Amino acid sequence: MAQEQLFVVVSYDIPDDRRRLKVAKLLLDLGGQRVQRSVFECYVSARVLARMQERLLELHKPEEDSIRFYWLCAECRPRIVYYGQASAIDEPGLMII
């Protein structure tokens, strides 16, 4: 049985270049797609999302960094408005994680 894929937007403001690159790499490694410099959209299972959050907590410095997660329900996704070069990310097919 396939796990439900959550649609999550992750944004961050991290002043340290090295830490910011580690965060971006982690998000890419876990299936996120960069839609702006510090914004990723992700279709992930609850298990992958929990792993992502756990690893981000290990990387970030709470006194300097800001990381935000926004969940969009299936009914909300069609309401996303895109301008300019923006476009929807591809919803994954079969994923084994």
> pLDDT for 12-54, tens place per residue?
999 999 999 999 999 999 989 999 999 999 999 999 999 999 9
What's the distance, CA 44 to chain centroid?
8
Q: Give the per-residue pLDDT at 77.
A: 79
CATH of the domain at 48: 3.30.70.240
Report the domain count for the chain.
1
Report if residue 68 sits inside a domain: yes
Assess if residue 93 is contained within a domain.
no
Tell me if 61 is assigned to some domain: yes
Q: What's at 30, amino acid-wise?
A: L
pLDDT tens column, 72-83: 988 887 888 878
Of residues 83 and 61, more confidence is placed in 61
The two three-digit tokens of residue 90, written as one number: 């591809």
Region at 84 (left for phi over 0; alpha for psi -120 to 50; beta for the rest)? left
Q: Which distant-in-sequence residues (6+ apart) come within 8 Å of 60 by Cβ? A: 14, 19, 23, 67
This prediction has a pTM of 0.83
Domain that holds residue 38: 6-79
